[in-house]
Structure 1
Amino acid sequence: MADIIAFKGIRYNREKIKDFSKVVAPPYDVISKEEQESLYKMNRYNIVRILLGKDLPSDNEKDNKYGRAGRYLKDWQKKGVFKRDETPCIYINLQEFKLDGKQKRRIGFIALLKLEEFDTEKSFVYPHEDTLAAPKEDRAKLIHAIEANLGPVFAIFEDKDRAISAVIRDQMIAEPLINIIDSHGVRNKFWQVSDKKIIAGLIGLMKYKKIFIADGHHRYEAGLDFSKFKKGPKYGYILTYFTDLLGDGLVVLPYHRLVGGLDKGGLAALETNFKKNFITKPIKSTKGLKAFLDKAGPREARFVVYTRKKITGLIFRDKKDLDVTIAKNLIIGPLGKIVIDFTEDLDYAIKAIGDRHACPLLSKYDMAILVNPVKITEIRDAAFRGSRMPQKSTYFYPKVLTGLVINVF
């Protein structure tokens, strides 16, 4: 069964922090160098200093960003910048945003989830994406240094009878403790629930729910390893945001691939590979990219490969794998040693190839591989059958903010 508990969260003190939008941050893995710098300047108590601290020239094994993060956390607690709730609570987060001109809202709650090994018969928690050693090591170093969870793991469950949704919505009648618009234009509202009966009822409804991880695989695995190292009940849980798979505000954006390091031989080999595995369609201009992708049929995968010289539409019929897996195996795999980055922003991907001279940082890219988003039901099904998708297959939007509430062991 899924073991979920309330906890005494640590939150920014309203008496010390007047504008909460200045102290929260997105998840660590979507913060660019530019955004990191911007967050540093917003407020001296912005959570980014703990979440994703700067590397300094003087850093060494003993004194580095992880050690500084631990000192910041302790110092801010001593100064009263952070304040722990007196009773165990769960926390509700409503996010309101616009996408493609439509107003959407996603509701979730934050609690602690018991860490379990994946791939066991007793587990109710399922991953859906591969992890990499370096990001996991980074998060492991941070959790060892601060002994806390900062950004929640993003988890999804199915609320078919809407019973959980009803409980949560009843608690949203009161004025929210936090009501801010974040740096990406998303309105975030935040409530605290301390009523023991309501908490017990919600946890009871979640008891036999299967849960799959949407975002935060590296954090989850780092937390699991840490719980084995430290031991003790309080280390066996991780801060988690739960939302309903059936909610209309659950959005998955495509993660486009930006490829660099291609030589002339690699580009020539692409042509042969395309003819062998795909139906190819020339696309005259960037205006036709999205229209081509949108026409994908139910058993069909579509991609757009955009190089300096041309734009090619690719159609793969009778697909048995996810689009991102086909892209990895049949487009990216044969290229050999390359540089690959990811973006959910279609305009940015187009600019990286078509307008690279406008920004020197984009000049390293030779090709963009544009993909369709993975369907949420495909992610669920892959997770429940034990399949792991390639890393950076999904971009859940909007991201859950870090700093609304944290869990200090």
Structure 2
Amino acid sequence: MANPELPVPDGLVLRPFRGVRFTIDDLAKVTSPPYDLIDESAVRDLLDSHPNNVVRLILPGADHHRYAQARETLRAWLSHGVLAPDETPAVYVYEQSGPGILQRGLIGDVGLAGPEQQVILPHEDVMPGPVADRLALMRTTEANLEPIFLLYDGDGGTATLLVDRVAASRPPLAEAQTRDGVRHRLWAITDPDELTALDADLRARQALIADGHHRYATYLTLQREHHALRQEHHGTGTMDGTDGTDGTSTTGRPKPGPWDFGLALLVDSTSYPPNLKAIHRVIPGLPLEEALMRAEGAWQVHRHADLAEGLTALRNATEPAYLLSAGTQSYLLTDPDPGQVEQAMPANRSARWRALNTSVLSEFLLPKVWGRVDDEQTVRIVHHDPEAAVRLASESGGTAVLLNPLTVDDVLAVAAQEERVPRKSTSFGPKPRTGLVLRTFAFD
């Protein structure tokens, strides 16, 4: 059951908002990748590119004052005109294009819906650490500093037709080309008739969280906090909705506030199919020799002379399969003992879930074969880059575990059954660029 004190959107809602945008000419220098793809060296590079890079807001530092520092930086940039709100609320068309890339979607205020409502579907569980971090940042800054990434089956409907028409025929509001060769363009839809048409098309849709599970969980947590404070302040007697002057609507539900929405990019996956990439693991302190010795009792182990040869073998292997390395040579694990796998996998999960390579990794290979728990302290995450994972393994005296990406069909099938894939199973792309448009509660 949904919390009766929370507004319940009657479908997929993408509301216009007053976007906050950089006034700096070269937007490539002040924008960044999403926060969870930025390591310490990338932070330095971004700050070297421009002192007002958005990384100062999304990754403000390591000390206990960092969230207050982000708030003060945001206020200073708004006060000094580094950032400025758009005058008119809009839903924004956002395009990413480059070699082999074309993705268009809509950025707006998505109405928050719990998983039980089957409007916005998660496919991953979340970890408490990242949620606590993003919650502290969001609570302190009173802002959504980067959009989550949602996919929906738009079937080339009204919203998608409008997105394509805007991108093809109107001059962009903002434009940037980042060092990876991707061009980012932004348009604002403010026409009431066009916004009404968008809303009518989207209401009946269902969205999948492609990227941003921790931020979406943060949105929901912040929403609950605000409504608990509102109820404590007003008391239960104000919820009868008699006149709507006490923060409630005439139906008795609370009037939606800025915390009842979250910044999101919504992409029609039928018109713009996503690119699903692998997320690799590194287990520090597990030497490659020990990892291989323990695996031999349950897996077939195939030695490869170098990483490139091993990655080719991994791509062609029958799942579940993993490539282990800590340097030059690599070793492919295939064909696990079916009896051992069956005993390790949870019986209450679907066959589709139990067949995922990340499920076998988290339930069998890590805990049963290697005696490791799949958590943030034990397992390091490396997005996309197998060479970076191998370097980290070598530096930490550990083992890199390289995986093939899941398929989109597998992710959708698991989510439709209200299951969650193991943590850090998917990396959908191309991800939205952080800093092109921000959302603050003060201007919403």
- TM bin, normalised by shorter chain, reads 0.7 to 0.9
Query: Secondary structure of 2:398's partner?
Result: strand
2:424 corresponds to which of 386, 392, 396: 392
Q: Which residue of 2 aligns with 1:250?
A: 274
Amino acid in the other structure paired with 1:104: I
The gaps in structure 1 that reach 5 residues or longer are 357-362
Seen in structure 2, the aligned counterparts of structure 1 residues 18 and 327 have a Cα distance that, compared at 3 Å, is same
Is 1:213 the counterpart of 2:209? The answer is yes
Q: Which residue of 2 aligns with 1:340?
A: 379
- For 1:69 and 1:279, locate their aligned partners in 2 and report how far apart those are by CA, in whole Å: 50
Note the C-alpha offset of 1:337. 4.2
1:198 corresponds to which of 188, 194, 198: 194
The normalised TM-score by structure 2 is 0.80
Identity of aligned residues (%): 25
Note the C-alpha offset of 1:30. 0.9
Q: Which residue of 1 aligns with 2:363?
A: 329
Note the C-alpha offset of 1:247. 3.7
Note the C-alpha offset of 1:186. 1.9
Note the C-alpha offset of 1:162. 4.5
Q: Which residue of 2 aligns with 1:304?
A: 323
- For 2:85 and 2:201, locate their aligned partners in 1 and report how far apart those are by CA, in whole Å: 27
Does the CA contact (< 8 Å) of 2:155 and 2:271 recur in 1?
no
Note the C-alpha offset of 1:373. 0.7
- For 2:303 and 2:42, locate their aligned partners in 1 and report how far apart those are by CA, in whole Å: 37
Q: Which has the higher strand share?
A: 1
- For 1:249 and 1:265, locate their aligned partners in 2 and report how far apart those are by CA, in whole Å: 40
Seen in structure 2, the aligned counterparts of structure 1 residues 281 and 66 have a Cα distance that, compared at 3 Å, is same
2:30 corresponds to which of 23, 28, 37: 23
- For 1:185 and 1:125, locate their aligned partners in 2 and report how far apart those are by CA, in whole Å: 32
Note the C-alpha offset of 1:53. 0.6
Q: Which runs of 4+ in 1 moved over 4 A?
A: 263-266, 307-310, 317-320
Does the CA contact (< 8 Å) of 2:151 and 2:208 recur in 1?
yes
- State the superposition RMSD in angstroms: 2.3
Seen in structure 2, the aligned counterparts of structure 1 residues 46 and 95 have a Cα distance that, compared at 3 Å, is same
- For 1:234 and 1:309, locate their aligned partners in 2 and report how far apart those are by CA, in whole Å: 52
Which residues in structure 2 correspond to 1:72-83 (within 5 Å)? 72-83=73-84
- For 2:217 and 2:332, locate their aligned partners in 1 and report how far apart those are by CA, in whole Å: 38
Instruction: Give CA-to-partner distance per residue, 1:3-38, whole Å, 9 cap, x none.
Output: 22111111123xxx1211111111111111111122
- For 1:288 and 1:327, locate their aligned partners in 2 and report how far apart those are by CA, in whole Å: 22
Seen in structure 2, the aligned counterparts of structure 1 residues 229 and 271 have a Cα distance that, compared at 3 Å, is closer
Instruction: Give CA-to-partner distance per residue, 1:69-106, whole Å, 9 cap, x none.
Output: 111112222222222222220111111133xxxx2211
Which residues in structure 2 correspond to 1:222-301 (within 5 Å)? 222-231=218-227, 233-248=257-272, 250-262=274-286, 266-267=290-291, 270-272=294-296, 275-276=297-298, 278-297=299-318, 300-301=319-320
Which residues in structure 2 correspond to 1:2-401 (within 5 Å)? 2-13=12-23, 17-55=24-62, 59-60=63-64, 64-98=65-99, 103-118=100-115, 120=116, 122-172=117-167, 173-231=169-227, 233-248=257-272, 250-262=274-286, 266-267=290-291, 270-272=294-296, 275-276=297-298, 278-297=299-318, 300-307=319-326, 311-316=330-335, 320-334=354-368, 335-337=370-372, 339-343=378-382, 344-352=384-392, 356=394, 363-401=395-433
Does the CA contact (< 8 Å) of 1:104 and 1:249 recur in 2?
no
Q: Larger deviation: 312-321 or 381-390?
A: 312-321
The gaps in structure 2 that reach 5 residues or longer are 1-10, 228-255, 339-351
- For 1:158 and 1:371, locate their aligned partners in 2 and report how far apart those are by CA, in whole Å: 27
Query: Secondary structure of 2:428's partner?
Result: strand
Does the CA contact (< 8 Å) of 2:153 and 2:270 recur in 1?
yes
Note the C-alpha offset of 1:242. 0.7
The normalised TM-score by structure 1 is 0.87
- For 1:178 and 1:30, locate their aligned partners in 2 and report how far apart those are by CA, in whole Å: 24
- For 1:308 and 1:42, locate their aligned partners in 2 and report how far apart those are by CA, in whole Å: 32
Q: Which residue of 1 aligns with 2:241?
A: none
- For 1:257 and 1:185, locate their aligned partners in 2 and report how far apart those are by CA, in whole Å: 27
Query: Secondary structure of 1:221's partner?
Result: helix
- For 2:143 and 2:278, locate their aligned partners in 1 and report how far apart those are by CA, in whole Å: 31
Instruction: Give CA-to-partner distance per residue, 1:101-155, whole Å, 9 cap, x none.
Output: xx2211111011111222x2x3311111111111110001011111110110111
Amino acid in the other structure paired with 1:187: R
- For 1:85 and 1:177, locate their aligned partners in 2 and report how far apart those are by CA, in whole Å: 11
Does the CA contact (< 8 Å) of 2:159 and 2:198 recur in 1?
yes
Does the CA contact (< 8 Å) of 1:257 and 1:369 recur in 2?
yes
Q: Which residue of 1 aligns with 2:238?
A: none
Q: Which residue of 1 aligns with 2:239?
A: none
Query: Secondary structure of 2:134's partner?
Result: helix
Note the C-alpha offset of 1:316. 3.7
Note the C-alpha offset of 1:307. 4.5
- For 2:156 and 2:309, locate their aligned partners in 1 and report how far apart those are by CA, in whole Å: 41
Does the CA contact (< 8 Å) of 1:308 and 1:367 recur in 2?
no
Seen in structure 2, the aligned counterparts of structure 1 residues 301 and 66 have a Cα distance that, compared at 3 Å, is same
Q: Which residue of 2 aligns with 1:359?
A: none
Seen in structure 2, the aligned counterparts of structure 1 residues 316 and 265 have a Cα distance that, compared at 3 Å, is closer
Note the C-alpha offset of 1:341. 1.5
Note the C-alpha offset of 1:269. 5.1
- For 2:287 and 2:170, locate their aligned partners in 1 and report how far apart those are by CA, in whole Å: 60
Instruction: Give CA-to-partner distance per residue, 1:196-255, whole Å, 9 cap, x none.
Output: 111111121111111111111111111111112223522100000011222445111111
The number of aligned residues is 381
Amino acid in the other structure paired with 2:367: G
